[in-house]
A and B are shown apart, each in its own frame.
Chain A
Amino acid sequence: MKQSLLTVISNSALTSNVYELKLSGIEGMNIRPGQFVNVKTDGNYLRRPISVCDAEGDILTLVYRVAGAGTAEMSTWQVGKKADVLTELGNGYDLSAAGDHPVLIGGGVGIPPLYYLAKELKKQGKTVSAVLGFNTASERFYEEAFREVCDDVCVTTADGSYGIKGFVTDALPQNPTCSYACGPTPMMKALYRSLACDGQFSLEERMGCGFGACMGCSIQTKSGNKRVCKDGPVFRKEDLLWED
C-alpha cells in the first residue's frame, strides 16, 4: 500500500453516470490487475474503494459509477485537483492461472478492472475473450477499448437494445481455459453455477478502511474468514461458499 497525492488530468463522463478519471503522479507504480485504490473525497469521512481500470507509466485510470455522495463529489473534480489516494490495495488477479484462452467476464462497473487485466494477458501472448454485460445500450462503455486489446469481444444487454439479448451467461465462449470475472453478485453467482473452468471472481463488499485493519468487509470461504479488501478482492471460484 502506498499513500499518494495525485493530480487529476482528466475526468469525463462515459455514460450518464459512469466517469473515467485519470490521475498522474504515482512514483514507481506497481499495480497489478484486479487491485483497487481507496480515494479520499471532500465532505465524506470514509474513503471510496475504486477498482483500477488501467495503470500505465505514472497514470492511473479509474472508471467509476456515481452511486452516492462520494462518487458524486468525485464527478465534479476538475483538471489539476489533488486527490489523496491509497494505492496497491488488495491481491489482484493471478495471471499465472490463465492458460492459453482465458475469458474475461464483466457486468456494468465490474468491467473496468478487466481492461487492465486484458492488456496484461495480451502482453503474455494469450488469446483473450471478453464478455461485457450491460442493462441497456446507453449504458455501454469501453467496448471499443476492449475490441482494440482482446481477440474476441461479446456484448450483452439485458433488454436486447444492443448485442446479444440476455446476460453474460448467455454469451460465454466455448471451452475457455480460465475465467476472470467482476460484476454484481447475482451475475457472479450465475457464473459460478454455469462455468466449468477454473475461475477468479472479484468481490465487492462495503469497506471501512480498504487495507485490512477494520474487518468490516469479511466473508466466509472454504479456507476460513477472509477480508475482501486485503485477502481479496479476488477469490478463486473453488474457495467461495456459493453452492446454495
Chain B
Amino acid sequence: MGRLSVELCGIELDNPVIPASGTFGFGYEFAELYDINCLGTFSFKGTTKDPRFGNPTPRIAECSMGMLNAVGLQNPGVEAVINEELPKLKPVFHKPVMANISGFSVDDYVYTAKKLDAEDQVGWLEINISCPNVHGGGMSFGTDPDAAYEVIHAVRQVTKKPLIAKLSPNVTDITAIAKACENAGADAVSLINTLLGMRIDLKTKKPVLANTTGGLSGPAVFPVAVRMVYQVHKAVSIPVIGMGGVSSAQDVIEMMMAGATAVEIGAANLVDPFACPKIIEELPAVMDRCGIENLTDIIGIA
C-alpha cells in the first residue's frame, strides 16, 4: 500500500480520487486526454433500465462558485451501457469501475443492478437514490428512510458486489437515511448529491432552467458536504465516500478528515478536465505540509 492508498469495501484504491457520476461519462473520452488509470476509480454516468434523453434544455445554469444542472439522467440504458460503453472502456481502464444506477421503481433498480452485477469490469454498485432532477424516482427514494431501506434491501438481494448508497442532502437528517441504508445491507454510503436550487433570468423573468429547478454543485456546496460527511461518519460504521465541491488536494484531505474513506470529484472535472490528475499529483506535497504520512491515518480524525 502506498501513502495515498485506501481500501474501499475490500478493494484497494491507489488513491482516494474518484470522478463522480455524471461528470465523467463512461470514462473513455477522458482517456483521450490522460491515462485514466491514475485514478482510484471512477463512477460512470447514472444508468437506468431504459434509455433516457433527460430534461429539455437549457439544463445548465451558473452561480457564484458553482453550477446547477437539470440533465435528468440522460443515458443510453443499461443494455447499451453493457454492450457499447463498457467495451469501449475496457482497453483504456484496467481497474474496477463504479457502476452508478438510478431508477423509477424498486424493480427498475433491481433490474439494472442485476445486469451490472454480472459485469466483471464493475467493482462497486453505487445506487443513486438522490437525483433531484427526475420526477417519480431518484430523490424520492432518498428522502425517506423507509423507501431508502426498501431499494437498498432489494438490490442487496441481487448482488454480492460492494453496494454503495448515494445520498441526497435535501433532507432534514441525513444520518437517518444513512442508517437505513446501512441496516438494509449497504457496504458504504456516498454523499452528497446536489442540493436543489434555482435561478431566474432577470431579462425573461423566468427560471433559467427549463426544468425550473436543478442540482447545485461546485465549491459553493463544499462546507455543506463536509458537515454531512462528518455527521454520517459518526452515525454509521460503514465507509463514507465524501463528495460535494471538492476541487483541490486540500479539499480531499479536509473531506477525509471529516470521515471520508474516498472522495468523489464532480463539477471540478467540468471546469478543468485535468482536475483529477492534478489533484492526485498534488496530494503528496500537501500531505507533507500537513504532516500526514498516510491518508488512511486521517480518516475521520476531525
B-contacting residues of A (Cβ < 8 Å)?
1, 3, 40, 44-47, 86, 205-209, 211-220, 225, 230
Contact = CB atoms under 8 A, between A and B. Distances in A.
Contacts of A217: 57, 60
Chain A, interface SS category? loop
A1 B32 CA distance: 9
9 contacts: A45-B62, A45-B219, A46-B60, A212-B25, A213-B30, A214-B22, A215-B54, A218-B54, A218-B74
A215 B32 CA distance: 18
Interface residues of B, number: 34
B271 A214 contact: no
A208 B273 contact: no
B57 A219 contact: yes
Given A213-B30, A213-B273, A46 B57 contact: no
A46 B271 contact: yes
Nearest to B71: A215
B57 A218 contact: yes
A230 B273 CA distance: 14
B166 interface: no
A238 B255 CA distance: 49
Nearest to B73: A215
A208 B57 contact: no
Given A206-B59, A215-B54, 18 more contacts: A3-B273, A45-B65, A45-B219, A45-B267, A86-B273, A206-B58, A206-B60, A208-B60, A209-B273, A212-B29, A213-B24, A213-B30, A213-B273, A216-B57, A216-B69, A218-B57, A218-B71, A219-B57
Contacts of B145: none
Contact of B270 (A3, A214, A220): A214
A71 to B, nearest CB: 13
A225 B25 CA distance: 14
A219 B54 CA distance: 10
A213 B270 contact: yes
A216 B71 contact: yes
Nearest to B55: A218
- List 6 tightest A-B contacts by C-beta distance, closest first: A216-B60, A209-B270, A206-B58, A208-B60, A215-B74, A215-B71
Nearest to B57: A205
Interface in B255-299: 267, 269-274
Contacts of B271: 40, 45-47, 209
